[in-house]
Homo-oligomer: A and B are copies of this chain.
């Protein structure tokens, strides 16, 4: 393919200096890349990120109600329903009636759910370890700390 002088920006590297100054832009790009990678990591377990996260929290907090779980995951109650439906249909968790409040369910993991959770967590951690191996221990701590504060501040802006 021949090139001509008047191609102007055609072959020069694209400058994204303005956007790279914005935390929101960098976070979106990193988040998209990491989420796509997590989809691949969790696919063998037939789990999505949100399904996996819900399972972990149920394993770690037996007896959780759905509203509590939705809040902990920072998603809407209504969007959690299909997630719980999926985990229950596969008999990884159970919706147990609460004697003290007949509106609510106490969520508990089955043995199969606990086992799958452990296996998936090992896979996710191994996968993350390869990515995070590029970062020093201090950088990892700064990353976790700054992300948490940014989330908090962004929510407070609302």
Contacts and interface: CB of A to CB of B under 8 A. Distances in A.
Given A6-B100, A16-B72, A61-B9, A24 B128 contact: yes
Does more than half of chain A's interface fall in helix, strand or loop, or is it mixed? helix
Contact of A34 (B36, B72, B150): B150
A26 B140 CA distance: 12
Contacts of A79: none
A31 B23 contact: no
A18 B121 contact: yes
A65 B4 CA distance: 15
A67 B34 CA distance: 23
Instruction: List 8 tightest A-B contacts by C-beta distance, closest first.
Output: A8-B63, A31-B31, A9-B63, A33-B154, A14-B72, A30-B147, A37-B154, A131-B153
